[in-house]
Structure 1
Amino acid sequence: MQLLVPNSLSHFHFFQKLPPLSRPYSSLLESDDDKPQDHYFTVSYLINSLGFSPKLALSLSKTHKLRLKSPERPDSVIRLLKHYGFSDTQIPEIVKKQPSLLLCNAEKILAPKLQFLGSIGLSATTIAEVMNYNQRILAQSLERSLKPCYDIIKSVPIPDDMVAVFFKNSRRAMGVKLLSNLPPNISVLREIQVPESAILFCVTYHPLVLAPNTSKLRESVNKIINIGILPSSFTFMKALQVVSQMDESKWAQKKEFYKKCGWTEEDFLFAFRKNPLFMSLSEKNSSSKMEFLVNEMGWRSADVAEYPDILTHSLEKSIIPRCSVIRVLQYKGLIKKGERSLSTMLINSKKRFHDRFVSKYQERAPELLSIIQGKMSLAEFGLGFEERGGVKQL
């Protein structure tokens, strides 16, 4: 494709007429290592050509060390993206995610990659969506990364309509050495009769899970089976996602943490069999939830192990607001304590909880909507957690 040399007069005139940047912006340009005029041109270009605010333009210039000395190269990149169907809205978003694209040789570097992505069925809209998740997709080598990685995942195989999903989620897996383990590792999973749908989900959404060498994967698989999780179960691939990325010392450390929270060995294994993903949480994250559920809600530690899904919910955005809604409903006599399992209430979907405990009682308790949205606390409503027998409960 022939790329025309752009007319740079508009950018030159804009740069000449650009008023001095007011502080604190102008002070950000001062640096011992950079020429101020380079910063000014870069900032002026980002504002003029892409509609960025001065603050954002300065941030990109400083944080990403973006230096544009003339408009020719960035103009050619923008023109190329438009040629491939990217909209005036998508292009600034792409540049915001990967500013260094403006420094690329559009014809020699970017055009072949866009051509390739288009040839495997990705539209401009899809490529833009992919870049929103995986900003480095166009920074990958075409011959050493994009093409061979595509060949590997197609040999698995995965359907054409899932290729874009793979590229979205493969920011850290776009290496031929990593992905070369996919075929033999998938063979291992098929040997033990892991469902094809689960394998496909893992390849497209969590490719790094299948990146370890095959002997390491077999060790992880055997460990999970010995814990009592069947390869055909829904939780098997979740368990593999956790175990494959956690060495023995880290596993022992996590298990010891939950024992200090009051779990027995059997509590820990029971929780892992129900939802292994709680093991991916940091100790600080889990500790705050355990403390609230045990000390504030009066649960036994073993109760939390029975419903480990709760630990994967946000304390501030889900657990506390839901418990507060239940507290108000109990206080007003709209539901009785013990009438429903609190654990079930906490792991219901957002819509189901809203329908059953907010919308249903909206007329008799209009404040529920503000509470579930975090706009009102129990303290503001005149309620709190009362203490009974040394344990705070709802």
Structure 2
Amino acid sequence: MFGFCCRRFQVQLLVPSFHCIQKERLFSRFYSSKSLVGPQGTSFTVSYLINSFGFSPELALSLSKKLWVQFESPEKPDSVIKLLKHYGLSGTHVSVMVKKDPRLLLFKAEKIFLPKLEFFSSMGISGTVLARLLCNNPRILALSLERSLRPCYDITKTLHIPDEKLAYFFSDFRRTTFKRLCIVARNVQVLRAHGVPQSSFPLWVPFYFNALSYDSERVKENIDKVISMGLRPSSATFMRALFVISVTDASKWEQKMEFYRNWGLTEDDVLLAFRKSPLFMSFSEKIISSKMDFYVNTMGCQPSDVAGCPDVLTYSLEKRIIPRCSVIRLLQLEGLIAKEDVSISTILKTSEKWFLERFVIKYQGQVPELLTSYKEKSVLQNLA
């Protein structure tokens, strides 16, 4: 079915994106000084960008150089601004779009942009959601509606991407998106054949989509690798593991294994951590080293304990790990709680309110400096 979709539409996206206005002489840069020069010798285009958006002269000049023609009158750019504001965008939103691509101001608003805006509106993409989409990806307005956007939308419906998530999907929409969608559609069938539930791969989440953007044979190989590591296709972490495997070649995997071996972890420890939190194998070695050093050398944890709850490596060392562990270590030194009474995982995963009530407010009378220690993010080495 999906192969049929691909053959049916044969998308011919705009290449390059902004060649829609074919009847005008878009590439000539030689105009009379009268049409291009504004007040005090400034070009009309630069003056327009300054006056309409509040850009600095330097920025306006830089943006004007990206245009294939200069403005001869405010009529066309004014109509673009008016149309975008009619659809709920503020002056700030339009300014962001123009900074990213000033060529938008050269298009015929009613002919080129209006059909796309109506299309997005029909999908429920409007107001602040539409503004965010266009600010992230203003060039989407220059793509063909019938040869690009609508066919891709039709495929997203077969992939069960709900309308309320389409804005996130189109925010990253590019000329190659249709081709990728066809590939992903085929690989979705591969996942289903392996028993991966639909709920496990929300395709509007970039790394799920990316994991399925390779050719089907490679995806099948990656699926088999993940299964061989002990993850069931129905497990909640299967798709995250598939993503990590898809972006990690054999040499990078071995490099990461060696890194964790140097911290005293066995291969079984690493695979256990990977099964629980697949992103464990994609963390920055520099960042993980500082956290492992803290847990092992300051808090006295065993490396295998960290591997048993790898999520503790995802928290900020300065904002969460050190402040909370400072409190726990101080309470231990005062003999108010035993090491076995709490786990690092519990300490870090719980809400701010729960932690304050359970470990700070409860003992503040006995340890007056406790709240100060927490607020100032005390370094534990000073407590030893």
Contact 1:60–1:99 under 8 Å retained in 2: no
Contact 2:152–2:181 under 8 Å retained in 1: yes
Task: List runs of 5+ in structure 1 lacking aligned partners.
Answer: 1-11, 18-35, 388-394
2:183 aligns to what?
181
Structure 1 stretch displaced more, 237-246 or 290-299:
290-299
1:20 aligns to what?
none
2:110 aligns to what?
107
Which residue, 196, 199, 221 being the options, matches 2:198? 196
Structure 1 position 165 matched with structure 2 position 168: yes
Report deviation, 1:385.
4.2
Taking a change above 3 Å as real, the CA distance of residues 65 and 236 of structure 1, as seen in their structure-2 partners, is farther
SS at match of 1:262: coil
2:378 aligns to what?
378
1:271 aligns to what?
273
1:305 aligns to what?
307
Taking a change above 3 Å as real, the CA distance of residues 369 and 118 of structure 1, as seen in their structure-2 partners, is farther
Report deviation, 1:333.
5.6
Taking a change above 3 Å as real, the CA distance of residues 93 and 305 of structure 1, as seen in their structure-2 partners, is same
Which residue, 114, 117, 120 being the options, matches 1:117? 120
SS at match of 2:341: coil
Matched AA of 1:290: M
Which residue, 31, 44, 50 being the options, matches 2:53? 50
TM-score calculated relative to the size of structure 1: 0.74
Which residue, 66, 83, 87 being the options, matches 2:86? 83
Matched AA of 1:378: S
Distance 1:62 1:105 in 2: 23
Report deviation, 1:102.
3.7
Distance 2:175 2:300 in 1: 44
Structure 1 position 148 matched with structure 2 position 151: yes
Report deviation, 1:220.
1.0
Report deviation, 1:130.
2.5
TM-score calculated relative to the size of structure 2: 0.75
Matched AA of 2:378: L
2:218 aligns to what?
216
Task: List runs of 5+ in structure 2 lacking aligned partners.
Answer: 1-34
Matched AA of 1:78: I
Structure 1 stretch displaced more, 343-352 or 359-368:
359-368
State percent identity of aligned pairs. 50
* CA-to-aligned-CA distance 1:96-135 (integer Å, 9 cap, x gap): 5555534544334332322222233311322113245555
Contact 2:161–2:203 under 8 Å retained in 1: no
SS at match of 1:251: helix
Contact 2:322–2:378 under 8 Å retained in 1: no
Matched AA of 1:247: D
Matched AA of 1:146: L
Q: How many residues end up aligned between the 2 structures? A: 344
* CA-to-aligned-CA distance 1:275-318 (integer Å, 9 cap, x gap): 10122222222222222222232222222111111122222222
Structure 1 position 251 matched with structure 2 position 253: yes
Structure 1 stretch displaced more, 268-277 or 145-154:
145-154
SS at match of 2:166: helix
Contact 1:220–1:244 under 8 Å retained in 2: yes
Which residue, 283, 286, 296 being the options, matches 1:284? 286
Taking a change above 3 Å as real, the CA distance of residues 364 and 144 of structure 1, as seen in their structure-2 partners, is farther
Task: Calculate the aligned-residue CA RMSD, in Å.
Answer: 3.5
1:26 aligns to what?
none
Matched AA of 2:158: S
